[in-house]
Amino acid sequence: MKQRVISAIVAILIFVPLFLIGGIPYSVAVGLLGALAFKEILDLKENKSIPMIIKLMAFACFELVVYNRFQASYIYNGVSLAVIGITVLLILIPAIFSKDDSYNTHKAFSMLGSIIALGLFFNFLILIRYADKWLLLYLILIAVLTDTFAMIIGCLIGKHKLIPKVSPKKSVEGSIAGSVIATIIASLYYYNVLTNNINIIGLIVMTLFLTILGQLGDLFFSKIKRENDIKDFSNIMPGHGGILDRLDSLTFIIYGYIIIINILKIFG
């Protein structure tokens, strides 16, 4: 527990100043976090046999996605289709020439998915911070509050397992409580800090939807760990695990928010 608390304090002391400063220091920090997260994917047992040259190429494509248009004026103006196209070709074509199963088509598609899914996520982390740091804090609050209260309530009154084969400690009671409490607090934050010029019902529905996505993100990355027989993605944060152990729920929340604002942009 002591180790866990110390790790959390150190992470907060590093993150908060960078979050408030923003700009290039924040963007560089996010890129480094992304690099560590992507290394956790490369270190999975299913990727151990991939040739180093392919891993280096994949890493370069990942950072290209992370830093493409990262200073855009609007969240909508993220990664270009050209960058996605380059990534697709560079990652898939080498599988044609692989003489064994060290880099087959299955691994190529898996690697491509990892690059795009995580690369876009870290790109969005930078884009949203450039748009409004308090908006990013709203999304972070959803992830933190949902996880925290789901764990607390689950430990106190949780009796029904949510999806035991994926995450045996999570309960239905904790899941519901986490979403409800996080929705209330995060919605109040949004209304009082960001803007009160918003439909209350719409805000609550959006926040609730994002809390559910956050829990699905947590479960998705938990399943990756189960399929690879690991407890944590890494031990970079003693007591907490790796980067992906901490950002799992936020990943799906960010994607959900991007989908929502783009839908509103189309129909607004």
pLDDT in tens, 129-165: 988 999 999 999 999 999 999 999 998 998 889 888 8
Residue 104 CA to residue 127 CA, distance in Å, equals: 34
**Percentage, residues of the chain above pLDDT 70:** 93
In the beta sheet, which residues pair with residue 167? Answer: 163
Q: What value does the mean pLDDT take over residues 12-26?
A: 89
CA 190 and chain centroid, separation: 21
Question: The whole model's pTM is what?
Answer: 0.91
Residue 220 CA to residue 225 CA, distance in Å, equals: 9
For the chain, give the mean pLDDT: 90
Give the burial class of 266: count Cβ atoms within 10 A of its Cβ; 0-12 exposed, 13-18 middle, 19 or more buried.
Answer: exposed
Label residue 3 by pLDDT band (50, 70, 90).
low
Phi, psi of 169 (to 5 degrees): -85, -15
pLDDT in tens, 246-265: 999 999 999 999 999 888 77
Residue 139 CA to residue 207 CA, distance in Å, equals: 9
Q: Is 100 left (phi over 0), alpha (psi -120 to 50) or beta?
A: beta
CA 240 and chain centroid, separation: 16
Determine the pLDDT at residue 6: 72
Q: Looking up tokens 């996010």, which residue turns up?
A: 30
Cβ contact 257:139 at 8 Å: yes
Neighbour-count burial for 147-174, b at 16+ CB within 10 Å, e otherwise: bebbbebbeeebeeebeeebbeebbebb
Label residue 238 by pLDDT band (50, 70, 90).
confident
Tally of residues, the chain: 268
For 160, half-sphere exposure in the C-beta direction (CA atoms, 13 angstrom radius) is: 5
Determine the pLDDT at residue 9: 83
